[in-house]
Amino acid sequence: MDGLVLVLITLRNGRQRLQVALDNLRSSVGAFDLPSILVGVVVVGILTAGVLASIFGVIPFAQDNGAKQDLAAVNTAQGVQKAKTNSYASAASLVSAGLVPQLPATVKIVVYPDGASYCASTVSGTGKTFMITSADSAASRGECMPLPDFSQPAVWTERTSSGTGSWRAVASSADGNKLVAAQYSDGYIFTSADSGVSWTKQTSAGTGSWYSVASSADGNKLVAAQYNGGNIFTSTDSGVNWTKLASAGAGYWSSVASSADGTKLVATQYSGNIFTSTDSGVNWTKQASAGTGIWSSVTSSADGTKLVAGQNGGNIFTSTDSGVNWTKQASAGTWYWHSVASSADGTKLVAGQDLGHIFTSTDSGVNWTKQTSAGTGSWYSVASSADGTKLVAGKHNNGYLYTGVYGQ
């Protein structure tokens, strides 16, 4: 606001000085002719345009800076609150405790159930969204998506129609109506067409050590992989009928992924190679450029061109040509990479370590950032929304489900 006042004062003073100059000029030369008047108008227009440009440059900066200052005040108050009570507090609690003045309605604070972490976000007058977290006290995190409403806990419903079993993998259509789930240890593949309310055991694929499943966006084309020397199977009718694909051979298939249309597939072997298919699994090609490794997880962009694969006790590899060529991404380091997931366009990635951290990337895997807010653990499964802003990760060994926003 100070910058705007300064600019307006400058405009007023400039007009006053111009008026004095014109009065002096009029007294010395008499009446103005038309060309002189036009020149004067042009001069005033140029001065006014310059000042207005300054005004419109100052206003967005002031609005964004004000939003950042609101978050900085929240961060300071939360620090005091945590020191007093060993727990973070809601916006209302911070205000009632006198730690912050009344906050703008745009400021949202979410405190997680254990009180050990929080997220705060606000929307500037320019429309930009800024955020801070208890793990990173920077007043601005750049442009990011607004935080979801965590005030209502997620409701999970046990579905008994599928029975009990050693469930190893699940996949979903884009609208969430068609689901597929696979059992390990001589189990079956089950499908649902009503978002999981009822399930059907599909016997055409037989029993096996089903380890991974993937689905096309419409839920019609499915691919499933067996571990323990098993095969890859595909279905084109939402899992009613299955075909064993001999071209890929038998192996310890650890992970499969599919493009949105179900034509481009990728599969990894545990202690083996990466295989790809461009015809919905009819034919498979062993991709030698990635070499052999203990491949634990693979994911694909919606168009099937950008792929990411993680090794157990190795590195993360990426491909931008549907798996023909692979690049080892050293920035993530060498570790036990157990799970990977991708946004629809393949730019935003998330990877989970066994006995480690969650890592995220916003440049298709070239650079990776360790996310410390969830702590360490055996992150056995991660998933991403289509735009890559909402993430979920599951921790093994009596762990919890964790959610994150924009890689935080």
* CA within 13 Å, CB half, 104: 16
- Domains observed in the chain: 2-26+33-133 (no CATH), 167-405 (2.130.10.10)
Residues linked to residue 119 through DSSP beta bridges, in sequence order: 110, 133
pLDDT of residue 58: 58
Handedness of CA 208, 213, 219, 220 (dihedral sign): negative
pLDDT of residue 154: 62
Amino acid at 18: L
pLDDT of residue 15: 46
> Which of 106, 118, 112 has its CA nearest to residue 68?
106
Longest dimension (CA), the chain: 106
pLDDT of residue 135: 63
- H or E element that contains 54: helix 34-85
Residues 6+ apart with CB under 8 A from 303: 259, 260, 264, 346
Pair of tokens at residue 16: 């006053």
pLDDT of residue 106: 85
What is the arrangement of strands in the sheet containing 167-172, beginning at the earlier edge strand?
A: 167-172, 179-183, 189-192, 200-202
Q: Are 235 and 218 in contact (CB under 8 A)?
A: no
Q: Are 347 and 389 in contact (CB under 8 A)?
A: no
Q: Are 241 and 255 in contact (CB under 8 A)?
A: no
Pair of tokens at residue 22: 């014109």
Q: Are 376 and 90 in contact (CB under 8 A)?
A: no
pLDDT in tens, the chain (408 residues): 433 333 333 334 444 544 544 454 444 444 444 444 444 444 444 444 444 444 445 577 788 888 888 888 988 998 899 899 988 888 888 998 999 888 888 888 877 666 777 778 888 888 777 777 776 555 544 433 444 454 455 677 888 988 998 999 999 999 999 999 999 988 999 999 999 999 999 999 999 999 999 999 999 999 999 999 999 999 999 999 999 998 999 999 999 999 999 999 999 999 999 999 999 999 999 999 999 999 999 999 999 999 999 999 999 999 999 999 999 999 999 999 999 999 999 999 999 999 999 999 999 999 999 988 888 889 999 999 999 988 999 988 777 777 776 544
pLDDT of residue 350: 96
Mean pLDDT across the chain = 83
> Which of 162, 180, 160, 164 has its CA nearest to residue 172?
180
pLDDT, tens digit, 9 for 90 and up, residues 217-276: 999 999 999 999 999 999 999 999 999 998 999 999 999 999 999 999 999 999 999 999
> Which of 214, 374, 368 has its CA nearest to residue 297?
214
Residue-level length of the chain: 408
Indicate the pTM of the whole model.
Answer: 0.65
Q: Are 193 and 177 in contact (CB under 8 A)?
A: yes
The whole-angstrom separation of Cα 203 and Cα 242 is: 9
pLDDT of residue 153: 55
